[in-house]
Amino acid sequence: MPELPEVETVRRGLEPTLSGARLSRVRANRPDLRFPLPEGFVQRLTGARILRLDRRAKYLLAPLDRGDTLVMHLGMTGRFEIAVPEGTIRPGDFAREVKPDDKHAHVVFETEDGAVVTYHDPRRFGFMDLIATDQVDRHPWFSTMGPEPLGEGFTAQTLVRAFANRKQGPKTLLLDQKTVAGLGNIYVCEALHRAGISPFKPSGMIAGKRLGPLTTIIKEVLAEAVEVGGSTLKDFAAADGALGYFQHRFRVYDREGEACPTRGCKGVIAREVQAGRSTFYCPVCQV
């Protein structure tokens, strides 16, 4: 599943083409993705101008000049292909291209400037909806979300409040979207290792003085991942077809049995299943 850095990479790839663009034609090649498309989907989008392209957690949001916001989620295999009169846009730094299959081209957006943005999704776990812009924050998908981890609202006090007197491990609480929006398994494993914090230690027992550095490390890990286009896991690719390369910087994720990269540590990366997900960590230096 694409995580926050992957979705942010896609947003940045789409932004030059879609932000401020008027949609001259919209085609839905099927009535549903993961969920049915909203009633009047094509008609409500055709002729509308996209005011900007935002991201909330792992969702892409495109407010329209008609008072609705187009909400898009990539699911597991959703991706966009951009075609413009000048050729293929490549906003990323990588040129490894993933060729999509036209039979999975489910939604096509054409702009007045001649750009064609096609949404492909082989497994159809992604979805799209139109929500009144002034109701987005109240929508069930967003109403209980915590602060954005890359925003100013995510501070040490966020974690102090969330961890206080809690018996669950910090990984479990960081993956809770009510604590912080958009964090996923990969980057939580990486951040906890850099911070030297055990993913299993009861959160209420973690000293408050360690939470400031943890929030900083979370921001650093996410920023680094966005910079290099996220992590390519199975089907993920950025909006231009480029593959992310943060996986080459993984310290613990998917490195079970390898030596811990922390200087001076003689530990070996271990893997345990925690709340149904693989947790990678060093049992020696994460305490």
Residues labelled as active-site residues: 2-3, 58, 277
Angstrom distance (rounded) from CA 103 to CA 161: 48
Burial 245-283 (b: 16+ CB within 10 A, else e): bbbeebbbbebeeeebbbeeeeeebbbeebeeeebbbbe
Q: Known binding site for DNA: residues?
A: 104, 123, 166
Q: Known binding site: residues?
A: 104, 123, 166
> Among candidates 169, 164, 197, 187, which has minimal Cα distance to 247?
187
CA distances from residue 50 to 11, 138, 270 in whole angstroms, order as listed: 13, 21, 46
Lookup: tokens for 225 = 């991942």
| Strand-pair partners of 68 | 132
How many CA atoms lie within 13 Å of 284's alpha carbon, on the beta-carbon side? 12
Angstrom distance (rounded) from CA 49 to CA 43: 13
Check residue 145 and give left, alpha or beta (phi > 0: left; psi -120 to 50: alpha): beta
Cβ distance 197 to 215 under 8 Å?
no
